[in-house]
Amino acid sequence: MSHGHGVVGNGVTMTPRPVRVLTALLLATALATVVVEALTFWYAPEHGFGFAVRTVWALVRTLGWLILISQVRRARATAKPLSLILTMTTLFAVGRLIVPPSGRPPLPGVLGFGVLTLLCLTVVVLLYRHPAVDAHLVHQPRRPVLTREGISLREAPPGDPWVLTARLASFSYSPLMLVPALIAAGTLRHRPEWTLAVILWILAGIAVSYAALLSAFFLRRGSHRARIALTSITLAVLAFDLPLCHVLLGLDGLVRDGSPLVVAATLTLYALRRIARTSTRAAAPA
């Protein structure tokens, strides 16, 4: 029996029990997300355009948990940072639906959010702390490699977890910008003077996705300039998005829609700092 995978007769590999439990928890988390959103929608005092946009975004996050299940089953190293980012963004996305603009949130929604929080934290702990799960993710699938002798299968080397974290966290900038921008677009009939600002906001949200993708590509190759570029993009995104959230959506919008972006940006900057430290130690003479 290997450290991360059990072998049952005829060389058939059996998934470790903790990994199977983790998969079940991920399914339960995806289901809990949908249930809490349904309860929130049912008890919401009003269903405006902003509420609809936030609800759709929260539902889209559910697909992320299904992707995470696939990553875990395929023993991908991206499962760890993806779980961390999904946990933070899901709790923010669902939490801002539960809290109404005024008054107290409904008790069923609060209880459901508590269950969802417990499931999310359990998933993260299992992925980062359980040795069997860690061994399962360290085991990388074999990929075809062209050699002089022909095509052979070699085990792909695991990626730097902080590089993966920075890449995935930066990929979330675009949707986290577009959600408040679309909500603000729904208010333009009352203040058309902000039309140009909202259009630029939407275009910036789309452009950030390409900028982050390009920086992440070179970051994977260990480029120092890519780290600087991604840091600059992160700071520019915060400087551009947060003031617009406050001006066009008010303090409530800043908290609801700006906080998830701040968390994603903080995670990206921390990951970039860890990458820089690793690169410095690797470059230091022995």
Contacts of 22 (CB under 8 A, 6+ apart): 72, 123, 126, 127, 130, 133
Please report which confidence band the pLDDT of residue 37 belongs to, taking 50, 70 and 90 as the band edges.
confident
The DSSP secondary structure of 209-269, one letter per residue, reads: HHHHHHHHHHHHTT-HHHHHHHHHHHHHHHHHHHHHHHHHHHHHHIIIIIHHHHHHHHHHH
- CB atoms near residue 68 (< 10 Å): 26
Percent of the chain scoring above 70 in pLDDT = 83
What's the pLDDT tens digit per position in 141-172? 545 544 555 544 444 444 578 888 899 899 99
Residue 9's pLDDT is 46
Residue 109's pLDDT is 80
Please indicate whether residue 147 or residue 43 has the higher confidence score (pLDDT).
43
d(CA 227, CA 217): 11
d(CA 214, CA 220): 10
Is it the case that residue 77 has pLDDT exceeding 90? no
Are the C-beta atoms of 63 and 89 separated by less than 8 Å? no
Tokens of residue 212, six digits: 């982050």
- CB atoms near residue 262 (< 10 Å): 15
Are the C-beta atoms of 65 and 84 separated by less than 8 Å? no
What's the pLDDT tens digit per position in 257-276? 898 899 899 999 999 998 88
Q: CA nearest 135: which of 43, 9, 2, 237?
A: 2
Distance between alpha carbon 149 and the CA centroid of its chain, in Å?
41
Computed over every residue of the chain, the mean pLDDT equals: 82
Residue 36's pLDDT is 84
Tokens of residue 122, six digits: 């359990």
Residue 284's pLDDT is 59
Is it the case that residue 7 has pLDDT exceeding 50? no
Average pLDDT over residues 33-56: 78
Residue with tokens 């702990």: 125
The amino acid sitting at 225 is: R
Is it the case that residue 279 has pLDDT exceeding 70? yes
**Model pTM greater than 0.85?**
no
